């Protein structure tokens, strides 16, 4: 898997462009790349989350992690003990992409946001602080990581996050509302092809033309790459943006169907 990711990263470096939006002929995507991607996130927000991250990286508590979405371990290994600092180091979204997620939440987060995969809550906080007037529904199957996420929400002063403990299969249909489609959806859990396709299909059917879907770790494995390429060609998707780490999907009408690989 390591060599696969290296190969995909080199391919991304070779093919990616449009860093500042130059060369993009779609006015809609030019605006996204040149303005939304480059927006400055409030320094207070960045500093607050950076402080939380440092605390987590020094937290040596051992917790039992129940990974309902693991596709790379045997069933008997899915519930295992891990240090909080290790989860923060390897599972939390990096600051660079957290800031981008914050910008996307501020731009597209209304009327609400759905997140699949809370972990320790860092990505939830980036989105919640960016649009405090909107509600973030975040779902995770591990009670112990959700307890720590809840602690972090309190420290960050976020009051617009609703936690859902359970599987995505059970919780996602409950939070999707036909009358109020989500503005932004962040899929960061269960990194296997079939579940990702299933969740995306459900989200797409419940979304409006204004909904934006972000998928994390699109080149984590062969099956995630395959899921990403399948989703890119989904009938409702009009535009996709490949950032190597993240994939961003739009359902807008009235624009030419296109795919962009953007250096970020």
Question: What pLDDT digit, counting tens, does each position of 223-250 carry?
Answer: 999 999 999 999 999 999 999 999 999 9
**Enclosing domain of residue 254:** 2-46+93-261
Residue 99 lies in a domain: yes
Residue 88 lies in a domain: no
CA gap 219, 225 in Å, rounded: 5
pTM for the predicted model, two decimal places: 0.94
Q: State the maximum Cα–Cα separation within the chain, in Å, rounded to a whole number.
A: 52
CB 197 within 8 A of CB 230: yes
CB 209 within 8 A of CB 181: no
CB 49 within 8 A of CB 122: yes
Of 118, 58, 128, 131, which is closest to residue 92 (Cα–Cα)?
118
Q: What is the pLDDT of residue 73?
A: 37
CB 239 within 8 A of CB 219: no
Q: What is the pLDDT of residue 76?
A: 38
Domain at 224, CATH number: 3.40.50.150
Distance between start and end Cα atoms, the chain: 23
Residue 200 lies in a domain: yes
Binning the chain into helix, strand and coil, the percentages to the nearest 5 are 45, 20, 35
pLDDT in tens, 148-195: 999 999 999 999 999 999 999 999 999 998 789 999 999 998 999 999
Segments of the chain scoring below 50 in pLDDT: 71-77
Strands of the 239-242 sheet, one edge to the other? 161-165, 135-140, 112-116, 184-187, 212-216, 246-250, 239-242, 258-261
Domain count, the chain: 1
Residue 66 lies in a domain: no
Could you tell me whether strands 79-83 and 62-66 are parallel, antiparallel, or unpaired per DSSP bridges?
Answer: antiparallel
Q: What is the pLDDT of residue 107?
A: 97
Residue 7 lies in a domain: yes
Q: What is the pLDDT of residue 68?
A: 67
Q: What is the pLDDT of residue 2?
A: 83
CA gap 156, 52 in Å, rounded: 8
Residue 20 lies in a domain: yes
Q: Measuring CA to CA, how many Å separate 180 from each of 18, 59, 177, 183, 205?
A: 33, 39, 5, 9, 13
Residue 63 lies in a domain: no
Residue 24 φ then ψ, to 5°:
-90, 120
| Cα 111-112-114 angle, rounded to 5 deg | 155
Across all residues in the chain, what is the average pLDDT?
92
Of the chain, the percentage scoring pLDDT greater than 90 comes to 84
Residue 60 lies in a domain: no
């Amino acid at each position: 898997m390591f060599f696969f990711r290296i190969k995909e990263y080199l391919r991304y470096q070779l093919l990616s462009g449009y860093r500042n939006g130059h060369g993009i002929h779609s006015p809609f995507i030019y605006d996204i790349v040149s303005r939304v991607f480059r927006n400055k996130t409030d320094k207070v927000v960045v500093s607050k989350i950076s402080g939380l991250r440092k605390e987590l990286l020094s937290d040596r508590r051992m917790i039992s992690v129940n990974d309902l979405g693991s596709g790379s371990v045997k069933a008997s290994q899915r519930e295992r003990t891990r240090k909080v600092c290790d989860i923060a180091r390897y599972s939390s979204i990096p600051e660079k992409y957290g800031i981008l997620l914050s910008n996307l939440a501020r731009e597209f987060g209304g009327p609400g946001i759905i997140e699949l995969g809370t972990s320790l809550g860092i990505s939830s906080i980036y989105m919640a602080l960016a649009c405090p007037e909107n509600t973030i529904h975040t779902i995770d199957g591990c009670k112990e990581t959700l307890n720590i996420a809840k602690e972090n929400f309190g420290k960050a002063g976020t009051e617009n996050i609703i936690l859902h403990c359970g599987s995505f299969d059970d919780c996602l249909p409950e939070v999707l509302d036909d009358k109020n489609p989500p503005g932004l959806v962040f899929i960061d859990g269960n990194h296997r092809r079939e579940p990702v396709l299933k969740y995306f299909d459900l989200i797409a059917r419940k979304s409006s033309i204004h909904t934006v879907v972000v998928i994390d770790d699109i080149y984590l494995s062969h099956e995630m790459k395959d899921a990403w390429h399948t989703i890119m060609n989904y009938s409702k998707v009009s535009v996709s943006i490949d950032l190597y780490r993240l994939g961003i999907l739009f359902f807008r009408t009235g624009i030419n169907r296109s795919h962009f690989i953007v250096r970020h």
